[in-house]
Amino acid sequence: MARDVGRLRDALSPTALDRVSRLTRPDWTRSTTGRRAAAGALALLALVLAIRGDPDDDRVEVVTAAHDLTPGTLLGEADLHLTALPAAGVPDGAVLSPDDVVGRTLAGPARAGEPLTDVRVLGSRLADAAAGPDGRIVPLRIDDTEVARLLRAGDIVDILTVDAEGSATPRVLATDATVVLAATRESGRTSGEPAVLVALPEASATEVAAATMTGAITVTLH
């Protein structure tokens, strides 16, 4: 009997903790309707998440450099790796298959893990990007190898020649040519002669290509 009286007294005289709990607990949580509304909201949230899917699933495999690559590298399978990237982070022109670039020459340096794009390898897309829709890529045989070794991909140069007759006045063949490849044997080439390729509009490219066969060629850097 005394125990029942004690329980009744506790129910009629709640503790301070009980009072705070009742004040802070929302009224709707104490009703069946409120609990059903909360359950419905959670179900709706789960449905929205299911429709959206996992952002990590929206990924695209692109070709990346398997290790640090130098300009002039003739790309092989060992130089390439497929990496899954978030779709939003895939650059324009990204290479999606190693077969598209195996056997082609890298135009500039690439770090390990860097995605390769269509303008990072020698080809028409690179010429167009560097010199316009009618762009051409021309190899230069620069007589002063020390000058050639100073060049880097992306440099802007003017191309000059001295006629085979030995004229003391150099002639400007082209201006604002873009260096797209500047590589030496350190990049894997067997020849000690630096390989220099420049992008030019078609008309200038033809004149420069012809002059390289008859006269000495040099460049000035911007």
For residue 211, what is the DSSP state?
A: H
Do 208 and 142 lie in one domain? The reply is yes
Residue 17 and residue 20: Cα distance in Å, rounded? Answer: 5
Please name every residue paired with 83 in a beta bridge, in sequence order, or none if there are none.
62
Q: Which two tokens stand for residue 209?
A: 């290509």
> Cα dist. 22→19, 26, 32, 171 in Å?
5, 8, 17, 94
Do 94 and 154 lie in one domain? The reply is no
pTM of the model: 0.56
Pairing assessment for the beta strands 80-86 and 59-65 based on DSSP bridges: antiparallel
Do 145 and 215 lie in one domain? The reply is yes
Do 106 and 35 lie in one domain? The reply is no
Do 77 and 158 lie in one domain? The reply is no
For residue 73, what is the DSSP state?
A: -
The count of domains in the chain is 3
pLDDT tens digits, 129-181 = 888 888 888 888 887 778 888 888 888 999 998 765 656 678 899 999 988 88
Last-in-domain residue among 92, 121, 150: 121
Strand segments (E) across 24-166: 59-65, 80-86, 135-140, 156-162
On the 0-12 / 13-18 / 19+ scale of CB atoms within 10 A, 120 is: buried
Please name every residue paired with 135 in a beta bridge, in sequence order, or none if there are none.
201
Q: Which residues of 35-53 are buried (b: 16+ CB within 10 A; e: fewer)?
A: eeeeeeeeeeeeeeeeeee
Which three-class secondary structure state does DSSP give residue 120? coil
Please name every residue paired with 182 in a beta bridge, in sequence order, or none if there are none.
196
Last-in-domain residue among 100, 121, 142: 121
- What percentage of the chain exceeds 70 in pLDDT? 70
Do 155 and 190 lie in one domain? The reply is yes
pLDDT tens digits, 83-114 = 999 988 899 989 999 999 898 888 878 899 99
Do 83 and 44 lie in one domain? The reply is no
Do 141 and 211 lie in one domain? The reply is yes
For 69, the domain range is 54-121
Residue 107 and residue 93: Cα distance in Å, rounded? Answer: 15
Q: What is the CA radius of gyration of the chain?
A: 35
Do 27 and 68 lie in one domain? The reply is no
For residue 112, what is the DSSP state?
A: T
What mean pLDDT value characterizes the chain? Answer: 77
Please name every residue paired with 69 in a beta bridge, in sequence order, or none if there are none.
110
**Whether the Cβ atoms of residue 174 and residue 158 lie closer than 8 Å to each other:** yes
